[in-house]
Amino acid sequence: MASFSPPVVHVNALGWGPSAENVPEQFKNLPFAPFCKGDLGKGFRVADFTAQAAYNARLFKQYRQRSDDPVVNADLQYKHDSTEDQTFSLVDSSKAGGPKKFGVGGQRRWGKGKGKGWGSHGKGKGGRGGDGGRGGGRGQEQQLRRRNDPGGNFRRLHKGGKGQRRFNNRVDSQASVKVGVEWKVVEEFDLPQFNKLQTNPPKVEDIKWCGHLEEYDEAYDSVSTRTAKPLVRCETKEFYNVTTTDDPVIAELAAQSSGNVYATDAVLAHLMACPRSVNPWDLVVQKFDNGGEPTVFFDKRDDSKFDFLTVSETASDPPMPSDDPEAMNSPENLSVEATSINQNFTQQILHGSKRQDMEHPNPFFDPEDEGGLEPAAVAYRYRKFQLGNVSLIARCELHGTVVKRGVKQHMTAFALNEWDSSSSGGIEWRQKIDTQRGAVLATELKNNSFKLAKWTAQSVVAGAEQMKIGFVSRKTRTDRHNHTVMATQFYKPTEFAAQITMSVPHMWGIIKMLADKFLSLDDGKYVIMRDPNKPVARIYSVPLDTFENDDDEEEDEDENEDDDDDGAAEER
């Protein structure tokens, strides 16, 4: 049988570990720290089966305190070297400054006040300038200085803020539209990867011109802080933001199979600039067979906030949502204010007497339904872009004409607005706009990168030779009812795109990729949605009746009311 020789075990009756005379040869002459129970509280414990439970509990409490056990190993203890300390010296021996002070007398000043908002809204149309929601200051008089709201319907349509939560300067947003149970994810994209797409600029062909244009008033080139002009609300103008599927011209072109992809310049610009977006958004895409040829419509929802401008969306400290729908600087009210400013600015800088009618009238204007209003000075340019196998037809907008070096050129117009310099970058326009306009624009490029990119892409798609940007500020910080035009600047869209690091081939590369993707999918309805908290866009396949139930219910209610009226008339 095999033999087994047990190892020799030396018993140390005086403590733990081997005794001094039984130390193995390989461990002799090595520094050894004796066991100290005070070290147990520094990250480890030793199983002591000889101690009683009460003794262990009392001992564990002592472990947290500094041990006074005199059993230490001098070789492992820290030794202070005073000679080495003398070789070090401080570089700066000056005393630190006192605490910073704010304002006069070291007191922080907070604004307070009141204000009124702008804007009205109509389905299928943009609003015309008008009074809107109430505003409140930040001081204690906020609740005392509120006024009645003459345009409350608009505020009720766009109030919000409860769908976002803030944790340590971070906002968790909800999606722009609720994802249904029957929705299926078809594709997912990382938005930063869109910047790697590119294609050659398409061949462009003008198909149809509608509406009318007016000439730019050159007096606004000399506007400054000293000669600032008040912003005038256009009470008699009507603005239209008709969806792709509701456009009668696009419907006519689609019936003629003039292309296989249809959209508006606003939708295309949104997709071209979407890698810079921060807020959640969604677009609707419909794919169907049109006489044997696959056809795609890029569109928006009727009840979405797609046509409203964002304010400081890409800022490091964007406006925070408020539970109070009347809060002056909430994202919703700032969006309404910015949209109204933009619409009024595009009409104010034009000569009303110098009008140029296009070949066809405004396709959305009906004199019988407008109640004496007239359409805004906008030309609708229907263009065809050929991107390989993609024949894209888009409705583009131009806002005026301008004479440069004796040549008449088409232009677009947009307005940046200052709402509170202390909350939107810290640059006071009234102090910097005349001498440091570049610094003001740089701050706006940081705070509104997505919005400026959309405007640039929209101007490129529309074929505008000039892009006019106005700088509009509140008359006072707490008054969102009155504004002044403080400066204007012309830019060439292609050059401005290069200035903001926006490549035209990359813009069209995004459109080409998405168009090819939807042309390859099955017929049906889809939704492109940006994730509310991650730079990710997803394509969902949705039922055909999605977003249409509300409209059908409204139509059924109207029909029922008409039937009731007819029945009551017969009874009488």
- CB count within 10 Å of CB 141 equals 14
Phi, psi of 367 (to 5 degrees): -55, -30
Locate the domains of the chain by residue range: 36-67, 115-141+148-555
* pLDDT of res. 216: 95
C-alpha 83: how far from chain center: 60
**Does 77 have pLDDT greater than 80?**
no
Buried/exposed 213-251: b ≥16 CB within 10 Å, e otherwise? bbbbeeebeebebeebeebebbeebbbbbbbbbebebbe
Tens of pLDDT, residue by residue over 21-53, are 777 777 777 765 555 555 555 554 555 555 455
Tokens 């202070």 label which residue? Answer: 80
Furthest C-alpha separation in the chain: 123
User: What residues contact 476, with CB distance under 8 A and at least 6 apart?
Assistant: 113, 482
Closest residue by Cα to residue 216 from 475, 484, 470 = 470
pLDDT at 465: 95
CA dist 57 and 48 (Å) reads 12
Q: What percentage of the chain has pLDDT greater than the value 70?
A: 70
Q: How far apart are CA 332 and CA 159, in angstroms?
A: 6
Name residues whose C-beta falls within 8 Å of residue 328's C-beta, 6 or more positions apart in sequence.
115, 117, 135, 136, 137, 478, 480
Instruction: Please check the confidence at residue 76 and state whether its pLDDT lies above 90.
Output: no
Mean pLDDT of the chain: 78
For residues 119 and 337, the answer to whether their CB atoms sit within 8 Å is yes
Helix (H) or strand (E) holding 487: strand 479-491
Crossing angle of the two packed helices 449-462 and 504-519, in degrees rounded to 10:
80
> Which range is least confidently modeled, 96-100, 184-188, 251-255, 350-354?
96-100
- The answer to whether 146 touches 135, Cβ cutoff 8 Å, is no
- pLDDT tops 80 at residue 69: no
Confidence of residue 560 (pLDDT cuts 50, 70, 90): low
Given a contact cutoff of 8 angstroms between Cβ atoms, the answer to whether 443 and 429 are in contact is no
For the cut 90, the answer to whether the pLDDT of residue 57 exceeds it is: no
Give mean pLDDT, residues 342-370: 89
Mean pLDDT value across residues 357-363: 94
Q: What is the pLDDT of residue 351?
A: 87
Q: How confident is the model at residue 211 (pLDDT cuts 50, 70, 90)?
A: very high
> How far does CA 292 lie from the centroid of its chain?
39
The pLDDT of residue 392 is 96
Q: Would you give the distance in Å from CA 327 to the centre of its chain?
A: 19
Q: Alpha-carbon distance 449 to 329, whole Å?
A: 19
d(CA 118, CA 340): 6
pLDDT digits (tens, 9 = 90+) for 470-522: 999 999 888 888 999 999 999 999 999 999 999 999 999 999 999 999 999 99
- Output the CA torsion sign for 387, 388, 390, 391: positive
* 137, pLDDT greater than 50: no
Q: How many other β-carbons are positioned within 10 Å of the β-carbon of residue 560?
A: 10
Residue 393 CA to residue 202 CA, distance in Å, equals 12
Most confident range (mean pLDDT) of 40-49, 228-237, 345-354, 453-462 is 453-462
Mean pLDDT of 223-242: 91
Higher pLDDT, 399 or 83: 399
- Residue 317: count of CB within 10 angstroms of its CB: 11
Question: Model confidence over 376-435: pLDDT tens digits?
Answer: 999 999 999 999 999 999 999 999 999 998 899 999 999 999 988 877 666 889 888 999
Per-residue confidence at 173, pLDDT binned at 50, 70, 90? confident
Best CA proximity match to 310, nearest among 327, 334, 330, 288? 334
- Three-class HEC string of 512-535: HHHHHHHHCCCCEEEEEEECCCCC
pLDDT at res. 262: 97
